[in-house]
Amino acid sequence: MAKTVTLKATNVLGKDFTIMDSMGNIKKINEGIKQIYKRIDALDQKKETVLFAEYNEVITDEVVKQVAKLLNLSKDDAKKLEDMSYNDLFTFYSTAVSEFTGMTTPSVRQMQKNQEKAMQALNNEDPKQSSGN
């Protein structure tokens, strides 16, 4: 049975959009996720220390672009996505990514959780090993 995801966009684009797990959509999602990671990597390569806000700028910008591509929007309609709730856009896109491909869309919230886990692991190391005794 086909999997579908719907973006409620009547208030901004005049209609809602439902996409299914077609090969064409899966290919667009694969390319979109690669593009998000390429932009994150480019930011990492450019700066030694990257702020979460900078990652967020890259991710939000790319998610909006990828939603427009996934929905085959015109340039004018793609611009209108900026007037929609980002939470709605991210939820739509990340749900499509997860449901159709099993992958996870990068997010600053997840990056922060991963950093916290890494810091906890460092803090929980055996003090004898850390001190060099």
pLDDT, tens digit (0-9, with 9 covering 90-100), for 25-82:
999 999 999 999 999 999 999 988 989 999 999 999 999 999 999 999 999 999 999 9
* Residue of 54, 19, 62, 18 whose CA lies nearest to 38: 62
The rounded mean pLDDT for the chain is 92
Residue 131, pLDDT above cutoff 60: no
User: pLDDT tens for residues 82-104?
Assistant: 999 999 999 999 999 999 999 99
Q: pLDDT at position 129, please?
A: 57
Q: How far is CA 28 from the centre of its chain?
A: 14
Helix, strand or coil, per DSSP, at residue 113? helix
Give the C-alpha separation, 120 to 117, whole Å.
Answer: 5
Q: What is the DSSP letter of 18?
A: E
What percentage of the chain reaches a pLDDT higher than 90? Answer: 74
